[in-house]
């Protein structure tokens, strides 16, 4: 990680509002702030690799971090995409074990990291930290189950339609929005090859979806719901 630093005022505020720290009592917040280190990551930098001894817990302050697993022949399967405020669940290894997936900055990102041994020490003294980690992980397990079910139940165009509907705020009315990240990341998140995502977007044109770069216009959300 480049330019490691203690959190400044702005980073402290972002950290305080992050999923993990927002759930803690003041004393545990202070203990976690004390050991927090902030770092800027350039796009594509690896945070940790599957199989390495786990030594750091990570939270995303800005940007996106993709977590993936590798096949022996080098193919990658994205399994989670973490954004601003997210605890990287794959880095919660309190038992002294190894990382079970690889994490990479998907774009320039600001990350808070915490020494796992010290996190474990704090968690062993302070139930609120351990309970907050349990909450975060159980929410992430639910998300992983939802991804697995989405893959197993839905075709590529259906997965894309569901993603668009979940991000289109105005119920039932035409809407425009900007994809929160590049299409290649969206493809990975939905378990699709980039070509399969392009084909799905082409197919969705027939349902009133227009895409220009990262800008998406949905003419008829109701039609999209019937894909």
Residue 157 binds a copy of itself (CB under 8 A) = no
Q: How far is the CB of 62 from a copy of itself (least distance, A)?
A: 23
> Cβ closer to a copy of itself: 62 or 150?
150
Residue 164 binds a copy of itself (CB under 8 A) = no
Contacting a copy of itself (CB under 8 A), which of 2, 95, 166, 169? Answer: 95
Residue 148 binds a copy of itself (CB under 8 A) = yes
> Cβ closer to a copy of itself: 46 or 77?
77
Residue 43 binds a copy of itself (CB under 8 A) = no
Angle between helix axes 26-35 and 9-16 (nearest 10 degrees) is 130
Dist. CA 99–CA 136, nearest whole Å: 17
Q: How far is the CB of 72 from a copy of itself (least distance, A)?
A: 10
Q: Which stretch binds a copy of itself (CB under 8 A): 35-43, 84-92, 104-112, 204-212?
A: 84-92
Instruction: Determine contact, residues 149/205, Cβ cutoff 8 Å.
Output: no
Residue 35 binds a copy of itself (CB under 8 A) = no
> Cβ closer to a copy of itself: 134 or 176?
134
Dist. CA 5–CA 121, nearest whole Å: 22
Q: How far is the CB of 197 from a copy of itself (least distance, A)?
A: 14
Binding mask 178-197 for a copy of itself (x = CB under 8 A): -------------x------
Residue 77 binds a copy of itself (CB under 8 A) = yes
As a three-state string, the secondary structure of the chain is CEEEECCCHHHHHHHHCCHHHHCCCHHHHHHHHHHCEEEEECCCCEEECCCCECCEEEEEEECCEEEEEECCCCCEEEEEEECCCCECHHHCCCCCCECCCEEEECCCEEEEEEEHHHHHHHHHHCHHHHHHHHHHHHHHHHHHHHHHHHHHHCCHHHHHHHHHHHHCCCCCCCEEEECCCCHHHHHHHCCCCHHHHHHHHHHHHCCCEEEECCEEEECCHHHHHCC
Q: How far is the CB of 119 from a copy of itself (least distance, A)?
A: 10
Question: Where along the sequence are the contacts to a copy of itself (CB under 8 A)?
Answer: 67-69, 71, 75, 77-80, 89-90, 92-95, 100-101, 120, 123-128, 130-131, 133-135, 137-138, 140-142, 144-149, 151-153, 191
């Amino acid at each position: 990680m480049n330019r490691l630093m203690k959190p400044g005022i702005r980073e402290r505020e972002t950290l305080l509002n992050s999923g993990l720290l927002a759930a803690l009592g003041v004393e545990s917040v202070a203990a976690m702030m004390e050991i927090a280190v902030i770092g800027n990551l350039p796009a594509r930098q690896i945070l940790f690799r599957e199989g390495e001894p786990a030594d750091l817990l990570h939270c995303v302050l800005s940007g996106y971090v993709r977590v993936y697993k590798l096949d022996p022949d080098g193919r990658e399967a994205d399994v989670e995409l973490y954004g601003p405020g997210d605890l990287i669940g794959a880095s919660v290894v309190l038992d002294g074990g190894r990382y079970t997936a690889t994490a990479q900055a998907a774009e320039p990102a600001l990350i808070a990291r915490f020494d796992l041994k010290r996190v474990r020490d704090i968690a062993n003294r302070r139930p609120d930290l351990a309970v907050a980690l349990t909450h975060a992980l159980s929410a992430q397990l639910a998300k992983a189950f939802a991804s697995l079910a989405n893959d197993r139940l839905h075709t590529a165009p259906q997965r894309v339609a569901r993603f668009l509907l979940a991000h289109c705020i105005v119920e039932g009315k035409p809407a425009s929005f900007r994809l929160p990240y590049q299409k290649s990341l969206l493809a990975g998140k939905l378990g699709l090859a980039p070509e399969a995502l392009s084909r799905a977007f082409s197919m969705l044109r027939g349902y009133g979806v227009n895409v220009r770069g990262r800008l998406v216009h949905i003419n008829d959300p109701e039609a999209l719901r019937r894909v």
